[in-house]
Amino acid sequence: MNLPALLGSLVTQDEPPTEIIVVDDASWDGTAEVALAGGARVLSSAPLPAGWRGKTWACHQGASEAEGDVLLFVDADVRFEPGALRAIRDTYGRQPGVLSIGPYHRVPLVYEQLSAFFNLVMTAGTGAFTLLGEHIQPRGLFGPFLMVERQAYHSMGGHETVKGQILENYFMAPQFARVGVPMRCYGGGGVMTMRMYPGGLRELVAGWTKAFATGAAQTPVLLLLAISAWITGSLVIAGLLALAVAQGENPGLGLVVYALYAVQIFAMLRRIGSFRWYVAFGYPVPLVFYLAVFARSVASVVFAKEVSWKGRRIDLTKEG
């Protein structure tokens, strides 16, 4: 269970939150007891209404019960570093609205390194980390951490506007933009961490399958084309290099370009997670894995119309 570590990292902050609400959705693993012991107020979830997803319904209920002027939505696998909330509040105070942070991804086991390109594409897909910096609004938000003024949250309709979505964070961004609420996205290095799929390779494949085709559909066309061109270029240069070596030719320029790709990937990965150097310099392996799982995700959306996650079948045709 992730909850004890999350709650522990919250209550030990030098400036802890004024209230912590945990929505218990008829759990069987003692969530309510653990939450109460960790200093949280437990809210028993009402039955899931038609058209809602489990997470959006839980967030909606929690927001309705919260008393503060600023709402904080946090996934259970997030861990806060000491002093994190104070730093986040200071940053948020300079420009209220929406603040979304992508936690630093802890990937201690070898199979978890295969999340590399999912994390890279997910980060790029927000549209928040371009050369234009904060001069343009993000086109997506990070799901694990969202901080927003209560008034701004309700002005865009809250989670009800994205009630039927799996990646509600991507769908919320245009809703906030519609009502003129400013948004910012940051990386979480030194502030918060997460470990997404500690349960093995099968869990990792299922998790990214559930998420990725839906997220790609929300990425702006020009940004999606730019990401696709970058991926295509990296694969082409790796293929040409392998062909030159196989034919006994001098790899020359191909080796230089491959090395430049690898260095760039390494520089990006070290900012978003504990990925090892060999992931970047052997990038064709995790990239081919990413493309295979992405194709599986697309097939789930287009043909099966459902995905499996933690023993449950999720209907992808359900509309919010």
Residue 42 sits in a domain of what CATH number?
A: 3.90.550.10
Count of domains observed in the chain: 2
The answer as to whether 138 is a domain residue is yes
Helix (H) or strand (E) holding 261: helix 253-272
Instruction: Tell me the average pLDDT of the chain.
Output: 88
Do 229 and 194 share a domain, yes or no?
Answer: no
Do 167 and 105 share a domain, yes or no?
Answer: yes
Burial (CB count <10 Å: 0-12, 13-18, 19+), residue 270 = middle
Do 126 and 266 share a domain, yes or no?
Answer: no
- Encoding tokens for residue 281? 């310099």
- Encoding tokens for residue 210? 């559930």
C-alpha 306: how far from chain center:
20
Select from 149, 166, 200 the last residue of a domain: 200
Do 136 and 56 share a domain, yes or no?
Answer: yes
Reply yes or no on whether the pLDDT at 296 is more than 50. Answer: yes
Residue-wise pLDDT for 260-270, tens only, equals 999 999 999 99
The answer as to whether 39 is a domain residue is yes
What pLDDT, on the 0 to 100 scale, is given for residue 297? 84
Residue 151: which domain range?
3-200
**CA distance linking residue 245 with residue 105, whole number of Å:** 35
Provide the pairing of β-strand 312-315 with 306-309: antiparallel
Residue-wise pLDDT for 96-143, tens only, equals 899 999 999 999 999 999 999 999 988 888 877 766 666 677 888 998
Residue-wise pLDDT for 56-92, tens only, equals 999 999 999 999 999 999 998 999 999 999 999 999 9
Do 132 and 93 share a domain, yes or no?
Answer: yes
Select from 148, 165, 200 the last residue of a domain: 200
Do 60 and 193 share a domain, yes or no?
Answer: yes
Global pTM value: 0.89
Do 181 and 270 share a domain, yes or no?
Answer: no
**CA distance linking residue 218 with residue 143, whole number of Å:** 14
**CA distance linking residue 99 with residue 141, whole number of Å:** 9
What pLDDT, on the 0 to 100 scale, is given for residue 220? 67
Do 83 and 186 share a domain, yes or no?
Answer: yes
What pLDDT, on the 0 to 100 scale, is given for residue 124? 86
Do 52 and 117 share a domain, yes or no?
Answer: yes
